[in-house]
Each structure stands twice: as structure tokens, then as C-alpha cells.
């Protein structure tokens, strides 16, 4: 190999993200805190979104980024044949325990949205409610969603938009704890043009609609909500844990401003107005 070729290869290697390390870090982040507890206030909204998707009973359904089963278990109770997958092993353990305790017929796997351990065209419906959007290899994720979906099958996603509550929160956090080199913002899954770009080769009949996450309430004010996120939501907990005391004070103040700006309650509690992009599409034949 020539010196020039060696230089080009070395440069390419330096510019290629280490996705193994990135995913290991992301896995640890989502396993931190207590997402099971955190998700309880979002559970009613998750069920409403699932209902809005109007998925037929008996559908073979895959829930990508299923967490601790917030949508997978209600889908199974509604008569669907459900498989859920998530990178966070502790969340999958909880989902399995919950399903076993309540005698719910649903399968849960630990795995990577960019490398799904399923056969081609295995599922009638693929869903992802604020899940697959966080996987760093976005085009491989899009390709996998298409691969495991049956021809003429359906894809439904709910993805935070860059301009909404969650997008503002993650943008704030990124100023204190910048993402790994080569990782683009997950909220690009909430941009219509990006969704078409990533999924357009394999899906058609797109219906893209910006909505607000339903029934997202907390029985306390936004100051206490910051502390709630800090304790139980892995990405926020990790952000606070990785900066010094002065930066923690600054981060807390900025987050409280964001939470207050998106709070539509007026009685001392919090009701978050969080925008997401609802994605519905059909797998090409």
C-alpha cells in the first residue's frame, strides 16, 4: 500500500465513529436511573398513541425500542401477537417479569435496532414509540425496519421533533455533554424530509403529522420535575453526573426554563406540551 493510500485509510479510520463504543455508552445511559418509574407518567399517552395507530388484532407486531413494555404489553392485551426489543437489558428484564406476572403472551428480546435478530418479512406491523430514533446508525435502523416488515405491512413511529420540548431539552444537554463524534441528533427522526430520505426507498403512502404527546402530566411543579428527570431519566441523570457543581446549577436553571416554557398547567402541577412527529407508512411490495 502506498504512503498516500495509507494516509487516506488512516484518515478514514479516524473519521469513522466507533459505534461499538457508542452503543455501549448508550446502553449504560438507558440502563441508568429508573426508566420504569420514569415512564409511568407517560404510560397513558403511550396507550393513546397506540390506539390512534388502529392496528388490527392478531397482527404480528414488532415494537422496536420497547423499553419496559409501555406499548408492547397494551398491544398484546389488545390481541396482537407481540415481540418487543430494546438495547437496555434491565428494561427487558422488567418487561418479561411484568408479562409473566400478569400472564400476558408477549416475547421480549435484548438487541440492537440496527441489527434486528429476526427473519426477513417476519412482521405485519412495526412500531416504535420514542425508541428507535435514539439508535445512532439511523440508516441501518431504517433498513432493518424495512427488512423485517412484510410487503404491504405497516410502520408506525412517534419521534420527538427538534423544535419541541424533548428536542429543546436534548439540545440543552448536548451543550454540557456533547454527543460522541459522528452521532447526529436523534430528533432528526422528527423532521419530515429526513424520514422520507431514510425510509423512502422501502416505504410508501407516508402520513407524517406533527402532534403533541397526550396525557403527559406530573403532580408537581417544573422545579421538582427537573429533579425527577435527574433521578430517574438516564440521559439527564448522566448529564448531571458528568459535570461540576457550577455546571449542574446552570444546567438545572436552563432545564427548568425549558420545562416551564412547555408547561400548559396553571395550578402548580406540570402538563408537558411535547411535540412529536407521527409517522405512518406502508412497506412497498
Residue 13 has pLDDT above 80, yes or no: no
Residue 274 has pLDDT above 50, yes or no: yes
Would you state the pLDDT for residue 14? 54
Residue 7 has pLDDT above 90, yes or no: no
Question: pLDDT by residue (tens digit) across 42-75?
Answer: 999 999 999 999 999 999 999 999 999 999 999 9
Residue 11's pLDDT band, with cuts at 50, 70 and 90, is very low
Instruction: Of 171, 177, 169, 141, give the one whose Cα is nearest residue 157.
Output: 141
Residue 240 has pLDDT above 90, yes or no: yes
> For the chain, what percent of residues have pLDDT higher than 70?
95
**3.40.50.150, 3.40.50.620, 3.30.360.10, 3.10.20.30: CATH of 23-171+179-216+274-283:** 3.40.50.150
Residue 186 has pLDDT above 50, yes or no: yes
Q: What is the mean pLDDT of residues 185-193?
A: 98
Residue 6 has pLDDT above 70, yes or no: no
Lowest mean pLDDT among 14-18, 164-168, 275-279: 14-18
Would you state the pLDDT for residue 138? 97
> For the chain, what percent of residues have pLDDT higher than 90?
93
Q: What is the mean pLDDT of the chain?
A: 94
Residue 4 has pLDDT above 70, yes or no: no
Residue 87 has pLDDT above 60, yes or no: yes
Would you state the pLDDT for residue 15? 66
Residue 28 has pLDDT above 60, yes or no: yes
Burial class (CB in 10 A: 0-12, 13-18, 19+), 180: middle
Would you state the pLDDT for residue 182? 87
Would you state the pLDDT for residue 146? 98
SS (H, E, C) 167-205: HHHHHHHHHHCCCCCCCCCHHHHHCHHHHHHHHCCCEEE
CA angle 97, 103, 107 (to 5 degrees): 60
Residue 199 has pLDDT above 80, yes or no: yes
3-state secondary structure of 247: helix
Instruction: Of 185, 64, 193, give the one whose Cα is nearest residue 118.
Output: 64
Instruction: Of 58, 70, 105, 63, give the one whose Cα is nearest residue 84.
Output: 63
Backbone angles phi, psi at 271, to 5 degrees: -130, 110
Residue 12's pLDDT band, with cuts at 50, 70 and 90, is very low
Would you state the pLDDT for residue 215? 95
Would you state the pLDDT for residue 145? 98
Would you state the pLDDT for residue 5? 43
Q: Which grid cell sits at 254?
A: 436552563
Amino acid at each position: 500500500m502506498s504512503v498516500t493510500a495509507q494516509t487516506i485509510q488512516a484518515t478514514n479510520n479516524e473519521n469513522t465513529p466507533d459505534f461499538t463504543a457508542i452503543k455501549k455508552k448508550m446502553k449504560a445511559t438507558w440502563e441508568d436511573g429508573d426508566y420504569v418509574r420514569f415512564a409511568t407518567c407517560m404510560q397513558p399517552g403511550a396507550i393513546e398513541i397506540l390506539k390512534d395507530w388502529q392496528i388490527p388484532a392478531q397482527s404480528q407486531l414488532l415494537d422496536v425500542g420497547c423499553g419496559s413494555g409501555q406499548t408492547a404489553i397494551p398491544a398484546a392485551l389488545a390481541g396482537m401477537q407481540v415481540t418487543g426489543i430494546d438495547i437496555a437489558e434491565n428494561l427487558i428484564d422488567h418487561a418479561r417479569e411484568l408479562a409473566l406476572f400478569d400472564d400476558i403472551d408477549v416475547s421480549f428480546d435484548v438487541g440492537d435496532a440496527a441489527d434486528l435478530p429476526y427473519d426477513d418479512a417476519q412482521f405485519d406491523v412495526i412500531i416504535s414509540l420514542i425508541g428507535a430514533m435514539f439508535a445512532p446508525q439511523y440508516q441501518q435502523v431504517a433498513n432493518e425496519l424495512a427488512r423485517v416488515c412484510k410487503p404491504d405491512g405497516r410502520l408506525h413511529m412517534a419521534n420527538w421533533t427538534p423544535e419541541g420540548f424533548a428536542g429543546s431539552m436534548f439540545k440543552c444537554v448536548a451543550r454540557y455533554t456533547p454527543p460522541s463524534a459522528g452521532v447526529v441528533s436523534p430528533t432528526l427522526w422528527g423532521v419530515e424530509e429526513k424520514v422520507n430520505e431514510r425510509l423512502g426507498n422501502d416505504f410508501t403512502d407516508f402520513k407524517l403529522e406533527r402532534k403533541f404527546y397526550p396525557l403527559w402530566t406530573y403532580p408537581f411543579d417544573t422545579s421538582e420535575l427537573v429533579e425527577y428527570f435527574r433521578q430517574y431519566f438516564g440521559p439527564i441523570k448522566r448529564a448531571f453526573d458528568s459535570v461540576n457543581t457550577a455546571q449542574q446549577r446552570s444546567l438545572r436553571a436552563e432545564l427548568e426554563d425549558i420545562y416551564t416554557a412547555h408547561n400548559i398547567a396553571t395550578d402548580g402541577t406540570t402538563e408537558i406540551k411535547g411535540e412529536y412527529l407521527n409517522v405512518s407508512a406502508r412497506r412497498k411490495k
